[in-house]
Chains A and B, each alone.
Chain A
Amino acid sequence: MKIIKKTLTFMFILLLLAACSSNTETTGTANNENESEEQTTIEGNLSFYTSQPDEDAQKLVDSFTEKYPDVKIEIFRSGTEEVVSKILAENKAGEVQADVLLVADAVTYENLKNEDLLLSYKSEEANEIPESFVDKDGMYTGTKVMATVLAVNTEKVKELPDSWNVLASEAAKGQAVMPSPLYSGAAAYNLGVFTRNGEFNWDFYEGLKKNEVMITEGNGAVQQAVAAGEKSYGMIVDYLVARAKADGSPIDLIYPKEGVPVITEPIAIMKNTKNEAAAKAFVDFVLSEEGQQLAAEIGYTPIRNGIDAPEGLKTIEEMNVLEADLSELYEARESDKEEFSNLFGDK
């Protein structure tokens, strides 16, 4: 018993010590940051929340810190919806911990803008980016172009289709797959855009439902299902397909003639950032020619004018973009999701 007591006392003290030490650590750096802001040198800690795949986020951070070795960046990566939930929970609990945010789509940022969580910053670099992808109040700026395209399994589909309507055709009955808008930010954006375009409307989704489309949690699962031949057709973000195709998977991508919904993975600075200087430098870097070149190397279509898209993908100029009014998308997102959930629900 004594030994147990001792061990536990020891562990308890350890617990307290650890709690205290990490406490002093954070307050210590916070002070440094305040001083550094006055001197406008770029150093200190940055907390970067993102939904990019881990590897890609790491590459971005590595090349930034190569340029600014005094900045230490911590990455939190998860799906867009989880990242946003985490930020909202942090906000509710007292204080948002993120400094810079980079997640799926502009609509998500409209929400955060509305909650007054973002800092306005108009980067010089944003002049080279198409106006429609830059928030007019400077709250957020697109960083790349991701189209949602049609993917096909090349072993099962010999004649490549050119229209979204193939998903509602007899050939695709029980053979199509798409991510759930209730779980995937990109899919939620697509839902908003498709249902607000005359050619598609809700009829498009009703057709999909009739055609027994399979719904998965995320885009990754769509890629798997199509690559494995479990399904022949998929609705999916372009870069995943381009990568899998480059690796040798039997999958191909098509930009349908009606146009493609595009998300831009915007970047924004959180309002209560403790390191504004470094956050701004980071945003500048992501939007700069160098940062955009890096995005292209990793395998994304860059958003900045004049930089080539990686092999297998189209640049923004070559794409036929399906658009919808942003504020309307933002207003309607919850009801869209609810309607989707009712349409596809098993009630």
Chain B
Amino acid sequence: MARSAITSGNLFTKYSPSFFKIFVFFLVFLVFFIPIIRLVLLSLSSENGLSLSHYVEVLKNPVTWKTIYNTIIIVTGSTIISVFLGLLTAWIVAYTNVRHKKLLNLFIFLPFVIPSYITTLAWTQFMGVNGPVAKLLNILPGHIQPMNLYSLTGIILVMGISHYPLVYLLSGSVLRKIPRELEMAAKVSGGSKYISLRKITIPLALPGIASGGLLAFLASLDNFGIPAFLGIPANIRVLSTYIYEQIIGFGPSAFAKGAALSVILGIFAIIGTFFQWLLLRRSKQIETSRVDKEPRVILPGRMRLIIETLLWTFLIVTSLVPLLSMASTSLIKAYGLDFNLQNISFKHYEFILFSSSKVQGAIQNSLQLAFIVTLIGLFVGTYIAYIRVRKPSLLNKSIEVMVGLPYALPGTVLALAMIFTWLEPIPGWNPGIYGSIFILYIAYITRFLILQIRGSVTSLLQIDGSMEDAARTSGASPYYKWRKILIPLILPGLLSGAFLVFLTALTELTVSSLLWSSGSETIGLVIFNFEQAGNTTYSTAFSTIIVLLILIGFIIIFLFQKYWERKVLPNDDRN
């Protein structure tokens, strides 16, 4: 790796002061770095110049320590659950001969596709006193109560389930690329299945697992919806809700305190990224880039049935049931009535689809936002990923950390930093970006670019530098190299990244809620506003429509991928 990095580095320095590179650095600096600098400065500000007084004040408060403790427990717990579930499902789907893999794929994604404010709503309804679990337990003897979700365990579970698809997505594609010959070699040399897993599969899959794990970690660190919804009733604070509470509840003096807390949160994000780097430092590169979709572990009939049953039960409980519980709420005439034929009505859907002027505008805005942000992410994110993988200088690595920070900050904090930065980027000059829909584009790129970078890095790590060297020595131009070699090979990985960006951008809530102005409503905002105004039936109806739309999008991407495999990669092995 070191050798190829140097050679391709030389290749790069030839093009080095290119406009493109300068543009990317400029963009990263402007968009990612300045808001963070503004935030750090704010946290250090005091009447007599710079001082650490806000940090001292914050760290003296025992509530802060309790909050940090809660955050560590919740983030660690939910990341472990996410990695475990993600890796397990990815391994089963990639390696074994279970049936209906495409359908499995879809169900594994559902918890991620549904925005977390909807998931949480659905879960509390599912587990609530009137929910299906309670009704079922009522029939059973004894006085078993459904689990109380308003607790540390509840938050950890819901977060873990919401974020495991991130791990699934990033480790699944890596697993498929591990050459089976290596695993077979281990077996032939007398190694047990366990040894082959420990010595071959896990180390080779590590880039994917670590990337997915890091995203799950950052997502949990930032998540506001789940701890706000489940934590407030249980008096459990985490950093994201605590910062929100400070900024929102305690006036202008609290901005600096909130900023100091945000910096503390940022430090956690850096620690997580560092930990991932430690893990990956010794990870191995795979020489082939062949995607191998043939099952490697052939389960005998009965075993397969048992695993399939377990898997489907898990998926139905985690994905389908909460979704159905949400959909059933949207069909009830008035919230709180029983779900039976007399009480069913479609009037909420009628309102959403035909009467509400906001809804169509919001769908249009969000689609446009998500689409453009994804497109920009594909280019810029892949480029950053490329220089990060092929030319891992300190500067290039720090770009990745910089880009990752806004994803870890709570949405509200990022939004405030955006206001500070973009209202008057240069004192006395208001470019009019803030207050237009444009601020949302910038904010979304700031927040979600890291998802694309993680996806692209993961797939680029799988391609040995020698491929590029070969292209170069055969006289291929960089453009030709990308078009003919890199892009076809990494496209599935790029698309998974793009897909994450698209979905998260489509239903984003926290950043938009402070930055929008009329005319730039987003889907998340409209749903949240319905919810806040007490119109749960509207919000669930709209959410159901959105989930259906996303499912349709899923199918389209699916067909596209199939087409790609068939037409563009004709030599690749397929099922």
Q: Report A's interface with B, CB cutoff 8 A.
A: 1-5, 7-9, 11-12, 18-20, 22-23, 25-26, 47, 53-56, 58, 73-79, 81-82, 85-86, 88-95, 97, 111, 115, 153, 180, 182-183, 188, 214-221, 223-224, 226-230, 240, 243-244, 247-251, 334, 337, 341, 344-347
Contacts and interface: CB of A to CB of B under 8 A. Distances in A.
B532 A76 contact: no
Interface in B228-275: 228-229, 232-236, 245, 247-252, 255
B245 A8 contact: no
A19 B430 contact: no
15 contacts: A4-B20, A9-B19, A19-B431, A26-B430, A82-B248, A90-B419, A220-B534, A224-B534, A228-B336, A229-B130, A230-B130, A244-B334, A244-B335, A249-B337, A345-B63
Nearest to B247: A85
B423 interface: yes
Nearest to A223: B534
A215 B235 contact: yes
Given A4-B383, A214-B150, A229-B130, A94 B517 contact: no
Most buried by B among A73, A224, A250: A224
A263 to B, nearest CB: 16
Nearest to A153: B336
Contacts of A47: 435, 517
A183 B231 CA distance: 13
Nearest to A91: B252
Nearest to A93: B423
A78 B236 CA distance: 24
Nearest to B515: A86
B516 interface: yes
B194 interface: no
B12 to A, nearest CB: 11
B522 interface: no
Contact of B533 (A54, A88, A248): A54
A249 B388 CA distance: 57
Interface in B506-529: 513-514, 516-519, 526, 529
B130 A228 contact: yes
Given A22-B436, A243-B534, A74 B519 contact: yes
A345 B236 CA distance: 8
B536 interface: yes
B427 interface: yes
B432 interface: yes
A220 B249 CA distance: 19
Contacts of A7: 379
A93 B419 contact: yes
Contact of A216 (B63, B233, B423, B536): B233
B23 A228 contact: no
A85 B416 contact: yes
B358 A250 contact: no
Nearest to A334: B250
A198 to B, nearest CB: 27
A347 B66 CA distance: 7
B251 A76 contact: no
Contacts of B431: 19-20, 22-23
Contacts of B62: 347
A248 B337 contact: yes
Contacts of A115: 252
A347 B228 contact: no
Contacts of A223: 335, 534
A243 to B, nearest CB: 7
Contacts of A74: 517-519
Interface of B: 15, 18-20, 23, 62-63, 66, 125, 128-130, 150, 228-229, 232-236, 245, 247-252, 255, 333-337, 357-358, 376, 379-380, 383, 412, 416, 419-420, 423-424, 427-428, 430-436, 438, 477-479, 482, 513-514, 516-519, 526, 529, 531-534, 536
Given A8-B380, A85-B247, A247-B333, 12 more contacts: A1-B482, A8-B20, A47-B435, A85-B514, A86-B419, A95-B430, A97-B434, A182-B249, A220-B534, A228-B128, A249-B336, A250-B336
- Sorted from nearest, which 10 A-B pairs have the closest CB atoms? A53-B533, A227-B336, A248-B334, A22-B432, A93-B423, A81-B248, A23-B432, A247-B334, A94-B424, A75-B518
Contacts of A88: 251-252, 255
Given A85-B247, A85-B514, A90 B19 contact: no
Contacts of A229: 129-130, 336
Contact of B232 (A183, A220, A240, A347): A183
Nearest to A26: B432
Contacts of B526: 54
Contacts of B479: 1-3
B532 A218 contact: yes
Contacts of B334: 227, 244, 247-249
Given A19-B432, A230-B130, A214 B416 contact: no
Given A180-B232, A248-B333, A346-B236, A220 B130 contact: no
Contacts of B248: 79, 81-82, 85, 182-183
Would you call the interface of chain A mostly helix, strand, loop, or mixed? helix
A183 B249 contact: yes
A230 B245 CA distance: 26
Nearest to B538: A55
A219 B517 CA distance: 23
Given A1-B482, A244-B534, A94 B427 contact: yes
Given A22-B438, A215-B232, A247-B334, A79 B532 contact: yes
A337 B23 contact: no
Nearest to A18: B438
A1 B251 contact: no
A347 B234 CA distance: 12
Nearest to A24: B432
B181 to A, nearest CB: 34
Nearest to A83: B514
Most buried by B among A1, A11, A95, A97: A1
Given A19-B433, A224-B536, A334 B251 contact: yes
A214 B518 contact: no
Contacts of A188: 249
Nearest to A86: B514
A230 B433 CA distance: 45
Most buried by A among B236, B412, B529: B529
Given A95-B423, A215-B235, A216-B232, A76 B376 contact: no
A97 B529 contact: no
A214 to B, nearest CB: 5
B534 A240 contact: yes
A1 B12 CA distance: 12
A216 B235 CA distance: 10
Contacts of B233: 214-216
A341 B125 CA distance: 27
B532 A53 contact: yes
A273 to B, nearest CB: 15
Contacts of B66: 345-347
Contacts of A218: 532
Contact of A8 (B335, B336, B379, B424): B379
A12 B19 CA distance: 12
A8 B337 contact: no
A95 to B, nearest CB: 7
A92 B45 CA distance: 13
A219 B516 CA distance: 23
Contacts of B517: 47, 74-76
A5 B236 CA distance: 49
Most buried by B among A20, A25, A153, A341: A341
Contacts of A97: 423, 434-435
Contacts of B423: 90, 93-95, 97
A56 B478 CA distance: 57
A171 B130 CA distance: 19
Contact of B336 (A23, A78, A91, A251): A251
A180 B249 CA distance: 11
